Amino acid sequence: KQEVTQIPAALSVPEGENLVLNCSFTDSAIYNLQWFRQDPGKGLTSLLLIQSSQREQTSGRLNASLDKSSGRSTLYIAASQPGDSATYLCAVVRQGGKLIFGQGTELSVKP
Amino acid sequence: NAGVTQTPKFRILKIGQSMTLQCTQDMNHNYMYWYRQDPGMGLKLIYYSVGAGITDKGEVPNGYNVSRSTTEDFPLRLELAAPSQTSVYFCASTQLHRDRGTDTQYFGPGTRLTVL
């Protein structure tokens, strides 16, 4: 059974710091991997989708990597800002587009 | 485009009542999904649909039913509501491409349901 784990569960950093969020999964038979952002009381916003054949994707200050063989993905956030404060969720994409989610990392960026 | 819309935003039910959560997408996506999110947890898949008239169970389908009569709509039905169904419910959609699998999955704003 596929399990997705995110470490750490919570993270607090000062503004301007570069940071890495980790996601690991137990079954490497995935189609894609997707990173989301969730603000309190809100829905999910897609940040990056990495196809299984890709090793990384970049969007602005965000860079996500994928290593299927080791069952790991990382989300790198450069020059963090208070507006980046949110919960970040990773999800592996299985056949049929079904998502298996981690429990999320709650990020707080202090001014 | 409105994307994925859900109604209602909030609802309180008594034990044993029934209700339907509505979900509509205007992106002509073929795949649609229902997830639930319990406090402090990730999302779990309830049901999904790969096209009009085709639905299948996810991880946690017990106590729920779905139908997909059109491409746009994917309602979720709760029969005999129980306190364990207190959760936030999210609808999502995506498009399957033959050459690269499914695209980014887009989520609605959620329905917050409390069963007392």
Per-residue buried b or exposed e for A18-37, using 16+ beta carbons within 10 Å of the residue's own CB: ebebebbbeeeebbbbbbbb
Residues of B in contact with A42 (CB under 8 A): 109-110
Three-state DSSP class for residue A44: strand
The answer, for B41 touching chain A at a CB cutoff of 8 Å, is: yes
Tell me the per-residue pLDDT of A15-52, one tens digit each, with 9 for 90 and over.
Answer: 999 999 999 999 888 889 999 999 988 899 999 999 88
- Per-residue pLDDT at A29: 84
Which DSSP state fits B30?
A: S
What does the angle CA B71 – CA B72 – CA B75 come to, to the nearest 5 degrees? Answer: 105
For chain B of 116 residues, list the mean pLDDT of each consecutive stretch of 10: 90 96 95 92 92 94 96 96 96 84 87 96
Of A64, A54, A62, the residue nearest A32 (C-alpha): A54
**Residue A56 predicted with pLDDT over 70:** yes
Per-residue buried b or exposed e for A95-106, using 16+ beta carbons within 10 Å of the residue's own CB: ebbbbbbbbbbb
- Per-residue pLDDT at A53: 86
The token pair that represents B60 in the structure block? 């946690």
CA-based nearest distance A94→chain B, Å: 9
- Per-residue pLDDT at B39: 82
Query: Smallest Cβ distance to A96: which of B43, B50, B92?
Result: B50
Tell me the per-residue pLDDT of A69-96, one tens digit each, with 9 for 90 and over.
Answer: 999 999 999 999 999 999 999 999 888 8
Which of B105, B112, B113 is the best mutation test for A, with the most CBs of A within 10 A? B105
- Per-residue pLDDT at B1: 65
The answer, for A104 touching chain B at a CB cutoff of 8 Å, is: yes
- Per-residue pLDDT at A9: 93
**Residue A54 predicted with pLDDT over 90:** no
**Residue A1 predicted with pLDDT over 90:** no
State chain A's mean pLDDT as an integer: 93
Task: Give percent above pLDDT 90 in chain A.
Answer: 77
